[in-house]
Chains A and B, each alone.
Chain A
Amino acid sequence: MTQTHVSTIVNGDAVEFLCETDETLLDVLRDRLTLTGSKEGCGSGDCGACSILLDNRLVCSCLVLGVEAQDREIETIEGMASGDELHPLQRKFIEHAALQCGICTPGFLIAAKALLAQNPDPTETEVRYWLAGNLCRCTGYDKIITAVIDAAAEMRGNV
């Protein structure tokens, strides 16, 4: 099988890779670019563990083909912190114990970041509905919701 060459931007860096045409972007990120922070929980878009930003839009990377990434911009969990400085959401997740096992955490963080980008002051209900596509089996979501709302408040204060 002939592989396809793809040029794209991942977390601000120009990246090139070869992939099969039927390979998902999630598999490309994990297996070819060693960015294993995005997780596969279902492969069908039902759990959100593979959430990334594609041209600044929140998507499940398991529902995107690697070849679709040509000329696009991708942001993954690995690009969320700036150097040593965690994003406020990342800090608040740790502070509020918003993770137990941590497998869903990268997806939640990316999804929450997308939320706060378009709604800096969401209500609890808005957070819950926005994050309904991210499954967490450990926490009962309680502390995740608290962390997102608290991070939003901090980020508003910083503006």
Chain B
Amino acid sequence: MRFEAPTSVDAAIKLLEGEPGVVRILAGGTDVLVQLRYGQVEPDLMVDIKRIAAMRSIDEEDGGYRIGAAVSGIEIGAHAGLRKLWPGVVEAMELIGSTQIQGRATLVGNLCNASPAADSVPAMVAAEATCRIFGPNGHRDIPVHNLASAPGETTLGRAELVGSIYLPSRRPNSGDAYLRFIPRTEMDIAVVGTGVSLEMDLDGVCKNARVALGAVAARVLLVDEAASALIGSRVDAAALENLSHAAAAACSPIDDKRGTKEFRTKITGVLVRRTAQIALQRSQE
């Protein structure tokens, strides 16, 4: 395995372009090194992006924040502005793994690993985050929701990599939240994850909402029907009940060691309601 640690995006893209074999990007390494250790992948080239300065920072941009691909969970959690703007996304990132994992794991890594159970992704999808993709022909921005195509697979083309995530500015009277269900209190992969972002008007009626679900389908789901259950309501008990039903109805999970279809579907209904309640509370703060 060839190991390279370029110091610019261009150099990284050139390395990717020049390698005909299996390539892996190394940011936090919390997924790829496990795959390496257990023989699930044998890359010909590993490109460490942590020495690219542009990928190491969190920058304010148009009232939102751009988060570099090599920024770790601990840095995201420590960023007061980010935490204030999108607390749900920050919490989702912080739920991933242990303190040790937080020292390394990145938002972009969580996204590009393309697991349907990735904690940060439903929160980012609810937040309408975009990711910036660099490649041989420059860069392009796409919604975070469009990056994963199937478990472990992305829409990235040859010699492309994700350089950053952009979390947009937030409207007044809006709030976001993310909750996941795990059997323990820490260290588990989400059995279900629910991200909700909503905007209320001055009369206390929900103007906009985005509801995203993790670990209940092959990809993270953005459920319009669930959002519709909130929009136009006061996010009261009846609306939350409708939200639960709509979210549960959208689930098409699998049975596996982490949960059954039946359990995942039920928990989605419970969790999405609790998440919306937190988002609502935040919109009023």
Contact = CB atoms under 8 A, between A and B. Distances in A.
- Does A associate with B in a complex? yes
A62 B3 contact: no
Contacts of A132: 98-99, 185-187
A62 B37 contact: yes
Interface stretch (B27-35, B154-162, B219-227): B27-35
Contacts of A54: 103
Given A63-B29, A64-B29, A45 B101 contact: yes
Contact of B187 (A46, A62, A115): A46
A109 B123 CA distance: 34
Contacts of A65: 3, 26, 29, 33, 46, 48
Contacts of B34: 43-45, 63
Given A44-B38, A132-B187, A58 B46 contact: no
Interface in B39-76: 46, 48, 50, 72, 74
Contacts of B3: 4, 21, 65, 67
A21 B48 CA distance: 12
A36 to B, nearest CB: 18
A111 B166 CA distance: 32
Nearest to B45: A21
Contact-residue bracket for chain A: 20 to 34
A115 B48 CA distance: 28
Interface in A66-88: 67-68, 70
A38 interface: no
Interface string A87-117: 0000000000000000000000001001100
A76 B87 CA distance: 34
Nearest to A22: B1
Interface string A29-65: 0000000000000011110100100100111101111
Interface in B122-144: none
B36 A22 contact: yes
B186 A133 contact: yes
Interface in B178-193: 185-187
B257 interface: no
Interface string B1-29: 11101000000000000000000001011
A21 B100 contact: no
A68 B48 contact: yes
B40 to A, nearest CB: 11
| Top 10 A-B pairs, shortest CB-CB distance | A133-B98, A132-B186, A21-B3, A59-B103, A57-B103, A60-B100, A44-B34, A43-B37, A63-B33, A21-B1
Interface of B: 1-3, 5, 26, 28-30, 33-34, 36-38, 46, 48, 50, 72, 74, 97-101, 103-104, 185-187
